[in-house]
């Protein structure tokens, strides 16, 4: 076993012992840090134990086969078992290598999910609504909480834009693969002739920043109140509850009008602003802000696509995987697990290859 693996197992044991230390129990912040560090190491330690057992079973099988007096029928069974165990050892070694790859520090973050209608007019806004429903249903299956921060509804009921917070365990690690242009091919509800239209929707998944990640200087902010538009009754029409925040150094502007409280709208707008600023900070430092945003969602043109939803053929094609999926209704109802697991595996394979490169 590599020395690094032995040291990680020893670290896990020490962390486990320290959890019963009275001085640690009386320090809630340190207790959380130690508990998290132990939890991060636990999958690796469990996989190492499984690998060790599989290796022992392989050796036991080889010892049996080395016995000259072994019964022929038993020998045949042991040979089959040995092949299975050897393959399992190889699989475990690959899984351990994946666990040793440094994690993206943002993977455990909550996210700001931004969905915007792109090319295609009204049909694009209707599909933006379908995608938001898909992510909402997926979040429910994962036990995540989703909260709308701001939205703009099209005249026929779809979303021109919807911005939401998704909170839960390892949200960014899953949803980050959804960033990009989603293309839809279908007959619009408004199309009388039955002609298939092609439209696009852009999705941006930003790790949610908190005040520790991004500090906002009040001098850098221009905060304006204005009258909300859309449904909401007299409160919307008479009171200036909507908030527009402009970040002067970057020029970023965030508006929020979903809440009836000016304070709540300001709070939500600042959450979105922090996340957009952190997204830029993690990109190339010298790119223009507009270019940085386009690197994730593109311009909305049909050629810049990560996935195509073909309704006439009931087929969803992920262009990064170069693979099609035919459970259209199930996927749009929130069952994204198969696609996301394959994208995670693709990313892990790439990271392993990068780790091998000097």
- 89-119 confidence digits (pLDDT tens): 998 988 888 788 777 778 888 999 999 999 8
Structure confidence at residue 286 (pLDDT): 37
Structural domain boundaries enclosing 30:
3-100
Closest CA to 201 of 159, 230, 172, 165: 159
Residues 27 and 169 in one domain: no
Q: Average model confidence (pLDDT) for the chain?
A: 84
Separation CA 99–CA 341 (nearest Å):
15
Query: Final residue of a domain: which of 60, 81, 100?
Result: 100
Please report whether residue 42 resides in a domain. Answer: yes
Please report whether residue 60 resides in a domain. Answer: yes
Residues 38 and 185 in one domain: no
Q: 0.75 exceeded by the pTM?
A: no
Residues 197 and 320 in one domain: yes
Who contacts 200 (Cβ-Cβ below 8 Å, separation ≥6)?
Answer: 118, 119, 120, 124, 181, 182, 183, 184, 300, 301, 302, 305
Please report whether residue 63 resides in a domain. Answer: yes
Structural domains of the chain, count: 2
Weakest-pLDDT range from 13-17, 72-76, 96-100, 204-208? 96-100
**Helix, strand, coil distribution of the chain in percent, nearest 5:** 50, 20, 30
Residues 332 and 200 in one domain: yes
Strand-pair partners of 198: 185
pLDDT above 70: residue 79: yes
Please report whether residue 25 resides in a domain. Answer: yes
Query: Final residue of a domain: which of 74, 100, 126?
Result: 100
Please report whether residue 248 resides in a domain. Answer: no
Please report whether residue 255 resides in a domain. Answer: no
Residues 26 and 82 in one domain: yes
Structure confidence at residue 63 (pLDDT): 93
Q: What is the band of 82 on the pLDDT scale with cuts at 50, 70, 90?
A: very high
Report the side by side order of strands in the sheet with 197-207: 145-153, 159-167, 111-117, 197-207, 180-186, 307-310, 315-318, 323-325
């Amino acid at each position: 076993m590599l020395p690094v693996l032995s040291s990680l197992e020893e670290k896990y044991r020490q962390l486990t012992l320290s959890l019963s230390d009275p001085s640690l129990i009386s320090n809630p912040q340190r207790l959380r840090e130690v508990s998290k560090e132990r939890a991060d190491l636990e999958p690796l330690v469990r996989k190492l134990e499984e690998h060790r057992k599989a290796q022992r079973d392989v050796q036991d099988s080889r010892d049996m086969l080395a016995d000259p007096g072994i019964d022929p029928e038993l020998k045949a069974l042991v040979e089959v078992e040995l092949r299975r165990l050897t393959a399992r050892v190889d699989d475990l070694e690959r899984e351990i290598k994946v666990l040793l790859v440094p994690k993206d520090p943002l993977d455990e973050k909550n996210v700001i999910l931004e969905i915007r209608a792109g090319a295609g007019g009204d049909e694009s806004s209707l599909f933006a609504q379908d995608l938001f429903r898909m992510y909402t249903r997926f979040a429910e299956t994962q036990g995540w909480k989703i909260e709308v921060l701001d939205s703009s509804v099209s005249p026929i009921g779809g979303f021109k834009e919807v911005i939401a917070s998704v909170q839960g365990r390892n949200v960014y690690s899953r949803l980050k693969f959804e960033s990009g242009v989603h293309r839809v091919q279908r007959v619009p509800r408004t199309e009388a002739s039955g002609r298939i239209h092609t439209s696009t929707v852009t999705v941006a998944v930003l790790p949610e920043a908190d005040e520790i990640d991004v500090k906002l200087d009040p001098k850098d902010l221009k905060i304006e109140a204005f009258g909300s538009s859309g449904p909401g009754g007299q409160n919307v029409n008479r009171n200036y509850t909507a908030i527009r925040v402009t970040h002067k150094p970057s020029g970023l502007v965030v508006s929020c009008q979903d809440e009836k409280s000016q304070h709540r709208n300001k709070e939500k707008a600042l959450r979105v602003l922090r996340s957009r600023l952190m997204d830029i900070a993690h990109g190339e430092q010298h790119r223009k802000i507009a270019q940085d945003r386009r690197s994730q969602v593109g311009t909305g043109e049909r050629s810049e696509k990560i996935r195509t939803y073909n309704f006439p053929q009931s087929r969803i094609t992920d262009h990064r995987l170069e693979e099609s999926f035919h459970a259209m209704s199930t996927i749009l109802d929130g069952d994204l697990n198969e696609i996301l697991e394959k994208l995670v595996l693709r990313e892990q394979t790439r990271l392993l290859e990068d780790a091998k490169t000097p």
